[in-house]
Amino acid sequence: MNNVRTTNLTKSYITQLVFDIMSLAIEVHRHLGPGLLESVYHKCLKHELVLNGFKVNSNMNVPVYYKGLELNTDFRLDLMVNQLVIIEIKSVEHILPVHSAQVLTYMKLLNKPKGILINFNSDQLIKGTKHLVNEIFRHLPD
């Protein structure tokens, strides 16, 4: 589907990347349905992304810096695709504000423009998905 792109980063490129990611997430959800553990969806989505040519970092440590000191924390994001889009996978009854805050924090700490919060415990995956952007995204050319 898509390979890593390092130059001419645009909103359109990220939007297409997210569309491709969501197509694969929907494929996983279509095959598995709701109600499984997050780790199952994580493995299946990672497999689909890699199979389709995306560069995927999984269970990646998120560094936290405090006054020049790198703190040893247990922050781990689920997936990062093409070094641009952070994916946080949930399998919960409802997405809570704390889940969105978690993704926004990862985006800030890693200077990434886009995050997707996907709740696989939903009858329709689109209803269980939240897209998040920050100032980095807003300042990109169209």
Q: Is the pLDDT of residue 2 over 70?
A: no
32: helix, coil or strand?
A: helix
CB-count burial class (<10 Å; 0-12, 13-18, 19+) for 115: buried
Pairing of strands 85-90, 76-81: antiparallel
Residue 41 covered by a domain:
yes
Give the tens place of pLDDT for each residue, 37-94: 999 999 999 999 999 999 999 999 898 999 999 988 888 999 999 999 999 999 999 9
End-to-end alpha carbon distance in the chain: 21
What is the identity of the amino acid at 135? E
Q: Are the C-beta atoms of 56 and 49 separated by less than 8 Å? A: yes
Residue 85 covered by a domain:
yes
Of the candidates 91, 66, 62, the residue with the CA atom closest to the CA atom of residue 75: 62
Residue 1 binned pLDDT confidence (cut-offs 50, 70, 90)? very low
Residue 32 covered by a domain:
yes
- Residue that has been written with the tokens 């997050």 in this structure: 38
The predicted model scores a pTM of 0.90
Residue 126 covered by a domain:
yes
Residue 4 covered by a domain:
no
Number of domains in the chain: 1
Pairing of strands 69-71, 129-133: unpaired
Residue 119 covered by a domain:
yes
Domain extent for 31:
11-138
